[in-house]
Amino acid sequence: MGSLDGKVAIITGAARGQGAAAARLFVAEGATVVIGDILDDIGKELAESLGAAAYYRHLDVSAEDDWTAVVDEAVATLGGVDVLVNNAGILRFAALSDMPLDDYMKIVNINQVGTFLGMRAVSKAMIVAGNGGSIVNISSIEGLAGMPYLTAYAATKFAIRGMTKVAALELGPKKIRVNSVHPGMIVTDMVKDAAGGHDIDLSPAAKRIPIGRMGESEDVAEVVLFLASDRSSYCTGGEFAVDGGVTTTHAFYMM
C-alpha cells in the first residue's frame, strides 16, 4: 500500500530537480502524476521513464489558459485532482539598485502569480468534486528571512507563504489543506541557471549548515509527500522548513 494510492497529483516545474524527485516518489507511492513544465523534452522523458502512472503536459504556470487546460484534462480523463504541488520557480541574483523591472516581474509572474493561478484553478476543481485535497506550495528559506541580492525572489517566496495561510483559512471548511515548504540550500540546477549556467562552489555555504551537508531534492520530496498524503490530515496553514537547520540562526548572513 502506498501513501498516495488512488490519488491524482499535478506537480509543476517537475521536469527536473525537486519537482522530478517528487514525481518519482509520488508514482512509487501509488499516485497518478501530471508532470507540468515548459521543458518539454526533459519532461516527456521523465514521464516515459515512470510508466503509465505519469503524464507530461506543457504548463507555463504564469498562463491562465495553460492551467485551465491541464486541470480540465485531469478532471475529464483522470477523475479529478487530489494534490497540487506548486513547485515551479526561478531565481535571479541582482542588487536592489541594479535590478531591471522586467527581470523582477518575470520572477513575480512565475513564482508568485504561478502559485496563485495554480491554487485558484485546482481549488475550484477540488471544491466541485467535494473530496477535499492537499495543496503544497514550495516557498524557500528566503520566504522566512531575507538574503542579499534576492529582492525579487524573497518577495515572491514571502508572498507564497502569505497566500498559503489565506488559502488554508478559506479552503479548510472544504477539507482542502494548504501548506508551504521552505527548502534551504538544495543541490539543483536552479542556482546554476541563476548564475548564467556557470558552476558555483557551494562548499563554503555547506560548512555553515548545522546538519553538515547540502540538501538533496529527495529531502524535499519526502516532506512534500507527507503533506500530500493523509498522514498530514491535521496540518494546514503550516510552514515546513527543509533546510538542515539553517533557519535556526543567521547561518548564511555575511557569508
Q: Pick from 167, 152, 160: which is nearest to 240 by CA? A: 160
Separation in Å, CA 2 to CA 9, 24, 26, 27: 14, 13, 9, 9
55 is catalytic: no
Backbone φ and ψ of 8, nearest 5°: -110, 130
Separation in Å, CA 3 to CA 10, 12, 39, 226, 246: 16, 20, 28, 9, 29
Of the residues 55, 149, 153, 253, only one is catalytic, namely 153
Separation in Å, CA 43 to CA 40, 89, 182: 5, 16, 24
At residue 93, the 3 state secondary structure works out as: coil
Q: Pick from 122, 158, 124, 125: which is nearest to 139 by CA? A: 158
Nearest-angstrom CA–CA distance, 70 and 59: 7
Class of residue 157 by CB neighbours under 10 A (exposed 0-12, middle 13-18, buried 19+) = buried
Provide the annotated active-site residues: 153
